[in-house]
Structure 1
């Protein structure tokens, strides 16, 4: 069954980025953005812009009756996931496929518990350098979605359906047959990049060059490598180098989401990053001093709001 109807929830950086790309190819009535009425009114009156182009999006509120989507893309922040799952209920049908673009290593488990694991593909959003200020998104690198089944070395019918759809949409993607390792790799990157740039109040340029910030970032990432071994994932220095190569392609003037959150005095995903590392460190009796320091510094910043 071909994918025709797509729903997106979350109009932060990733939601706008992915939505704008899809809107270039898919009929407008087949692409819906789910938001409550207050947000819809705001989006329609103020507009949403992607690289200075106003986006022409089709909105639906959660209480509207609608036919199920063939594909749902969840692009909210982690602390908004439970509310998002409530909001998409009318869009989930028997054959719906759900992709989560959330950071971290736990969203697919949460989604599967709510709507069934047979609907969920594991997914990682990587390589984008999008910066959102107000209702305007700018980026140089669009990045891609890497997705696949949880089980290694498996390309299922669901995976093939999504790949065929993305091919038709000219949407950047990659099939991955070792998704848990890819997901942990992206988690490792976020733990290093997001938190270090936030604490050093800088941008990608600061961690793309040699210096104290880059040393901190890599040390935080190596703590994740240690923990991955205990969790049966086995990240290596080669995986660290892979993600550092991706980091090198990002716009030096860009900033990760955590830095943008702290600048806007929003509460960040530090619990999802350093918080998870600290919990796993305690579980396996492995010291994680770099992530402890980053966690405490970010919490201090947030406590001063």
Structure 2
């Protein structure tokens, strides 16, 4: 396949490195000029759970005007819609767009830009990716990539995308229920995104900390209760066991919200912890734990912007 990855940050670079290493023609697109230059000059280095390798990837600051088979939108949730708009020059009649973001809300923005019938929504579980330097990505795990059709995407086209990911070594599968998939991941995200960002602790440290583990579990339980109240079909019987199993796979990872705060950037906490109180209002409930966690992260963001 010819695959374009829009947003070649930490996670996007992991996708690019592994997909290119197995023979796909991969185009990486990112606004970080130094990263793009390093990839073009030396290749993309990927190390961690999948080993240590160099992959040849074509890298650009702006999307090239060439049609691809698959566009992966791997930017943060708040930028997904704009990124999809910019990627439209690479779309042909057969092109599938796969949006992989944390939290809830960004898929609607992508669908508005590219159309519902070519869109798949995905989640990546337990990767813990980071960029130690330009042209160099690291990841702590690669548990699963799951994807489902957002609108009318044909099942065979979706399965072909999943097969490409499996060929690259990912544990990839298609699912029939996008909402359930997103909420199962959201329950894990809310347990660690804001708690890690506020404290500076890793996922494993929050899980084991006697004070923060209580807060983390409360955020997860609250999201689980809201999902059930909304009638979302989730395969989670015990939310605490669910988030502890998630953390056990990537104990040394720092969630993207923490990494953004460390770099002085605006995070996607509004789409993660902040999504829970918004969804709660739909069923006339409240989500005070996630509401407070979101406010605390946003306060830290405001200090970074001064």
Q: Give the TM interval when normalised to the shorter protein.
A: 0.7 to 0.9
Map residues 142-291 of structure 1 onto 2, 5 A cutoff.
142-150=142-150, 156-209=155-208, 211-235=210-234, 238=237, 240=239, 241-250=241-250, 252-291=251-290
Q: CA deviation at 1:262?
A: 1.2
Distance 1:106 1:267 in 2: 17
Q: Which residue of 2 aligns with 1:58?
A: 58
Distance 1:7 1:79 in 2: 20
* RMSD over aligned Cα atoms: 2.6
Deviations 1:153-175 (A, max 9, x none): x9811222123333443433123
Deviations 1:99-147 (A, max 9, x none): 1111122232222222121101221111212223342322231233111
Deviations 1:181-235 (A, max 9, x none): 1111111211121111111221122123262111111111121122213322054
Specify whether residues 139 and 167 from structure 1 end up closer, same or farther in structure 2 by C-alpha distance, changes over 3 A only: closer
> Are 1:8 and 2:5 counterparts?
yes
> Are 1:297 and 2:296 counterparts?
yes
Task: Judge which range, 134-143 or 266-275, deviates more.
Answer: 134-143
Specify whether residues 262 and 7 from structure 1 end up closer, same or farther in structure 2 by C-alpha distance, changes over 3 A only: same
Number of aligned pairs? 296
Distance 2:200 2:87 in 1: 36
SS of alignment partner, residue 304 of structure 1: helix
> Are 1:18 and 2:15 counterparts?
yes
Asked whether the 8 Å contact 1:69–1:91 carries over to 2, the reply is yes
Distance 1:272 1:63 in 2: 25
* Unaligned runs of at least 5 residues, structure 2: none
Distance 1:262 1:283 in 2: 30
Distance 2:183 2:59 in 1: 33
Q: Which residue of 1 aligns with 2:103?
A: 104
> Are 1:49 and 2:48 counterparts?
no
TM-score (norm 2): 0.86
* Unaligned runs of at least 5 residues, structure 1: none
Specify whether residues 281 and 65 from structure 1 end up closer, same or farther in structure 2 by C-alpha distance, changes over 3 A only: closer
Asked whether the 8 Å contact 2:29–2:63 carries over to 1, the reply is no
TM-score (norm 1): 0.86
SS of alignment partner, residue 254 of structure 1: coil
Asked whether the 8 Å contact 1:225–1:236 carries over to 2, the reply is no
